Amino acid sequence: MTNRIKKTCFGIIMLASSATFAQYTDEINSNRPGESQSAFAVGKRIFQVETGVYGLKEKHEVLDYDLKGLGLDVVLRYGAFMENLEFIADVQYQFDNYYDALGTQNRNDFKQLTFGAKYLIYDPDKYPDIDDKEVISWKKRHAFKWKRLLPAVAIYAGTNIPLGDKTYTFRNDRMSPKVMAITQNYFGRWVWINNFIYDKFGTDYPSAGIVSTLTRGFNERWSGFVEFQGFMSDWYSDGIGRIGAAHLLTSEMQIDASFNMNYKDTPSIMYAAVGFSWRFADHYNEMWMPTEGNREKEYREQQKKESEEKKLKKKERAERRKNRRKAQEEAAPTEEAPADGN
């Protein structure tokens, strides 16, 4: 993958045809538990399932209704044709009880069905800086570089397909497009993802939105995130805040949990979710990579540093235990030798 954005159509075509370097990672790369999409694909011939169950509580102060329900969310991701391209199917189905002045309704229907594809068009960290090899000073080689602020960039295009009785959407809804620009930055253990969304344009109620997610890796198994989602349309506008955490069970499996709340009372919305992600990588063929990029180099340095710190702490603990045993032996009273009978 190149480290310069091509500005001509020919360059873009060449980029699409020659981008064959691996995005496959040693550990699963799941978009859960947030609502944003990462810029990177799962990898060629990789199939990944990301699913979850959520509980929902909604109350509208003006229309005077209450809603309580459960929902199922399933996302299927598959990498095909090239490493930086994946196809995505997103399905949501909801069951709820709707209470208002007229009575109670028990409802269930599809809330969302979207098919789309995502393509990574720019990754600034694939190749190391040539200047790093020419700078003798360790401090200058590892100093902060402004170009690290450049994000990885991907684009997404999909189609909304209305199904069922259209309980959770407009009665005159029809198939409509959805497009998205995705940026992703790495700052050490922090990852910042932004999705800029334009949805259902060409219909009576198009919407524009943003999802901004900040994730922090705490160790090899645990990570946490905070997220803001805002959207605006002629029908409904709102902002939602989320917090959550994910735990890596194995290199191919992840569990997660999150809590969500919006900022309005027309309606007020609260929901919590738990989820599970599973990557099927049996058919993955590892791709040749010409060199190690900045992101990979920083990761390996961080892993090496953590490994050395663990070894040092283990050595210090062993030394303390040895000193305690020695002190206890010195403090213990010694038995007098028996007198000689001769």
What is residue 148's predicted lDDT score, i.e. its pLDDT? Answer: 74
pLDDT tens for each residue of 229-242 = 999 998 889 999 99
The predicted pLDDT at position 178 comes to 97
Tokens 């040693």 belong to which residue? Answer: 26
Answer whether 77's CB lies under 8 Å from 88's CB: yes
Q: Yes or no: say if 31 and 291 are a contact pair by the CB < 8 Å rule.
A: no
Rounded Cα gap, residues 254 and 245, in angstroms = 11
The whole-number pLDDT of residue 338 equals: 54
Predicted pLDDT at 1? 43
Per-residue pLDDT reduced to its tens digit, 157-194? 999 999 989 999 888 888 999 999 999 998 888 999 99
d(CA 266, CA 71): 21
Give the pair of three-digit tokens for residue 183.
Answer: 């940026």
Q: Is beta strand 222-233 parallel, antiparallel or unpaired with respect to 253-262?
A: unpaired
SS (H, E, C) the chain: CCCCCCCCHHHHHHHHHHCCCCCCCCCCCCCCCCCCCCCCCCCCCCEEEEEEEEEEEEEECCCCEEEEEEEEEEEEEEECCCCCEEEEEEEEEEEEEEEECCEEEEEEEEEEEEEEEEEEEECCCCCCCHHHHHCCCHHHHCCCCHHHHCCEEEEEEEEECCCCCCCCCCCCCCCEEEEEEEEEEEECCEEEEEEEEEECCCCCCCEEEEEEEEEEECCCCEEEEEEEEEEEECCCCEEEEEEEEEEEEECCEEEEEEEEEECCCCCEEEEEEEEEEEEECCCCCCCCCCCCCHHHHHHHHHHHHHHHHHHHHHHHHHHHHHHHHHHHHHHCCCCCCCCCCC
pLDDT beneath 50: ranges in the chain: 1-22, 287-291, 337, 341-342
Side chain identity, residue 126: K
CA atoms within 13 A on the CB side of 133: 6
Do the beta carbons of residue 257 and residue 245 sit within 8 Å?
Answer: yes
Going by C-alpha positions, the residue among 146, 126, 183, 123 that lies closest to residue 297 is 126
pLDDT of residue 283: 59
